[in-house]
Structure 1
């Protein structure tokens, strides 16, 4: 029996590296084929990595927070007598699952071991993983970032309640301890309020890079207008009264539907600029990105072919995306390919914003909070539900006339939504 080295597999979507977010095993543990051994964080999403070998863990090639390149060693295990035959059978089972549409999606294959990598996705086959610590060892450990956060705030690691898999102390455990009324700093570092340095890596680095590119390459401008959203709420109530409980639609779904309707009238905003070829690319389909704040930071999951979906289908897609984003399980493929982004920054309690365009798209539509305000209607002062909407757009793609026309049309749809919601 020889040791086998499992390389970091191809993560798909053109990704070439990943950060180790959390090991689920340690040296000395016995692993089985298909067991999830590590969670890695790419520029797109968090991904669970299963191992195609069975055996005893000999070496982990990287610590928490460390960045590994695709095709470099990830984990070494001692080999089993029938390992090669079992791995081949596993590969074939994965291929059969994909052909049968089981929901287990193959992202790609490793450069040396041809090992499939399973995206985390609702409906995928569950893995039962034993994370009991080896004899004489402790399963309570921290990633470098979380450990630093705890120590900078004077927290004793032994006093923390670990909620992560296998007794891992995660960031939420530290933050929960800091929120306790009984918390007091116990170290000079915390007492003197020293600066905290947080590595710019993983998803946060990807977001920073994209926003920096947007500001550097796109000559953007922003326009905004106040709209009366009272009838939008009325329309939602009327529609939901006619639907079964499992099909009830959200307000965000209505806004997404109105966005798609306005883009059909102004297709020049559903576009991007191909700087290498000096061309404006106007897309036939609308792949709608929804800016979302998640525990891992800003993400923009994409609803593909949103223009082909009914309002109910849009609402169902949004509900699924929200659950996956909240659980940190959005697969990389759901975070790419957008052609236009909708940003509901009103959930943060703000009225307006000048959102940065999600490069390489040409525009982003923003929705502020919807609140009761005085409003003149038919010459009479009354109270209505008012929101400020804004549009940041690439001035290379369209001028203020087209941008203003799109925003005004969208505002008209918000004020009279029934006119465009005939097909549910």
Structure 2
């Protein structure tokens, strides 16, 4: 009899080591074809659909939405086309159960890091996900108990589909508390019995006695409401949100930026009246093909980086022949201009590749395209991780200034505040002008204040006198 083919979560680019399973696009028992999307996963970079390399019948879905899966761990098991006839569904059941049991044994030997029921197993990277200590070490589980677990798995299968219980921890929790799995209706995919189902079944017992598995928790306040109260403030806890996906990547990148980069900030107020009037005139002449103000500023930024290339660099640490570390400043032939875009999944920074070679209209079109892509969650790792300098238009949030954090490993970020009417002295006379604030945060290792100030002044002068600057670009 043919065995199911196990497809493992692939590296989705940029050396990412994990992804969150967002949604299954197939169910157990479905017939699928090669390259058919089977799941949506969210990495630290973007939301992607994972295609199947196999055709056949879905036998096992290794996970449920919300889980974080490690690269290289089982994602789906597929019974190849022609391997099972119409009257051989029992064989599919047995093979699927065997695959699940084998995955369990592999996890016990080395630890997978997968989160099957909200705990995780030893051997995964990062912070351990286990919230409660196990009743006893996995290594002490006898072969007889393993066999009993496997028999229980077979007894509680959904006919023609995935076994109703995959996780050995769920089965063991049920056995320790006398819960009959055959009487439970699973809330997971295809009737999969989850940890929450077993907990719901044993909940009445908690009102009269303290379950043994609860005694393994670290000691804490004795109050029954302690789990819903913050110990430091005494306030009730309204929600707990795991830091994962894009938010996890942003947090790690910002923390690294703060810890590694000795940054400094300079800023200047700018009279943007001439730029606003220039765009208004262009829009009057051609309402359908007028670049936005951000595109013009992006054009000035790329021109400024050509004059002050120190801000379009990266610091790289390498090992020398003696085993020590040395650093070098790597300069680039061209500018990949990143820009901050707010999405439902958090702040994203796609980059316009070779932005220094594009006109204001071309920059505007690419900025709009990339903004749409990241908001749909379809940006590629290359589009999100290849910037050499970042432009941040936080003025859209109605604020004037911000000491931004550099997008590591870049060495500079320019922020643009809102454009508002302010009193301004023009030719000795007080006038109302369109004023904005530019803020440059830079890595003090690659340049000093003179270079940073020169770049900032160049961009400011270009905004104040856009006609003369654009004529030279």
Is the contact made by 1:236 and 1:254 (CA closer than 8 Å) also made in structure 2?
no
What is aligned with 2:91? Answer: none
What is aligned with 1:316? Answer: 365
What is aligned with 1:344? Answer: 393
Task: Write the deviation string for residues 44-63 of structure 1: whole angstroms up to 9, x where unpaired.
Answer: 11111111222222111122
In structure 2, C-alpha distance between the alignment counterparts of 1:53 and 1:274, rounded to whole Å: 41
Q: For CA contacts below 8 A with separation 6 or more, give which structure has more relative contact order.
A: 1
Q: Does structure 1 residue 255 correspond to structure 2 residue 294?
A: no
Is the contact made by 1:260 and 1:286 (CA closer than 8 Å) also made in structure 2?
yes
Indicate which of 271, 288, 293 corresponds to 2:337.
Answer: 288
Indicate which of 306, 311, 319 corresponds to 2:355.
Answer: 306
What is aligned with 2:403? Answer: 354
What is aligned with 1:367? Answer: 416
| Structure 1 residue runs without a partner (length 5+) | 84-133, 142-146, 148-188
Q: Does structure 1 residue 56 correspond to structure 2 residue 57?
A: yes
In structure 1, C-alpha distance between the alignment counterparts of 2:421 and 2:285, rounded to whole Å: 27
Deviation at 1:211, TM superposition (A): 0.4
Deviation at 1:139, TM superposition (A): 10
Deviation at 1:248, TM superposition (A): 2.6
Deviation at 1:403, TM superposition (A): 0.6
Please, what TM-score do these two structures have when normalized by structure 1?
A: 0.72
Q: 1:41 to 1:267 in 2, by over 3 A?
A: same
Q: Does structure 1 residue 229 correspond to structure 2 residue 229?
A: no
Is the contact made by 2:37 and 2:52 (CA closer than 8 Å) also made in structure 1?
yes
Deviation at 1:15, TM superposition (A): 1.9
In structure 1, C-alpha distance between the alignment counterparts of 2:188 and 2:37, rounded to whole Å: 16
Q: 1:140 to 1:250 in 2, by over 3 A?
A: farther
Is the contact made by 2:27 and 2:189 (CA closer than 8 Å) also made in structure 1?
no
In structure 1, C-alpha distance between the alignment counterparts of 2:408 and 2:237, rounded to whole Å: 36
In structure 2, C-alpha distance between the alignment counterparts of 1:38 and 1:24, rounded to whole Å: 5
Q: 1:7 to 1:140 in 2, by over 3 A?
A: closer
SS of the equivalent of 2:471 reads coil
What is aligned with 2:152? Answer: none
Indicate which of 317, 330, 344 corresponds to 1:275.
Answer: 317
Deviation at 1:25, TM superposition (A): 2.1
In structure 1, C-alpha distance between the alignment counterparts of 2:4 and 2:424, rounded to whole Å: 74
Is the contact made by 2:329 and 2:446 (CA closer than 8 Å) also made in structure 1?
yes
Deviation at 1:11, TM superposition (A): 1.1
| Structure 2 residue runs without a partner (length 5+) | 85-160, 162-184, 191-195, 197-227, 229-234, 319-325
What is aligned with 1:415? Answer: 464
SS of the equivalent of 2:82 reads coil
What is aligned with 2:214? Answer: none
What is aligned with 2:437? Answer: 388
Task: Write the deviation string for residues 199-257 of structure 1: whole angstroms up to 9, x where unpaired.
Answer: 11111111100000000000001011100111111122233445572x33111111111
What is aligned with 1:19? Answer: 20
Q: 1:327 to 1:360 in 2, by over 3 A?
A: same
In structure 1, C-alpha distance between the alignment counterparts of 2:44 and 2:237, rounded to whole Å: 30
Q: Does structure 1 residue 200 correspond to structure 2 residue 201?
A: no
Q: CA RMSD in A?
A: 2.7
Is the contact made by 2:337 and 2:388 (CA closer than 8 Å) also made in structure 1?
yes
SS of the equivalent of 2:249 reads helix
Is the contact made by 1:311 and 1:423 (CA closer than 8 Å) also made in structure 2?
no
What is aligned with 1:330? Answer: 379
Deviation at 1:71, TM superposition (A): 2.2
What is aligned with 1:70? Answer: 71
Q: Does structure 1 residue 238 correspond to structure 2 residue 239?
A: no
- Look at both structures and tell me which one has the larger radius of gyration over its CA atoms: 2
In structure 1, C-alpha distance between the alignment counterparts of 2:285 and 2:431, rounded to whole Å: 29
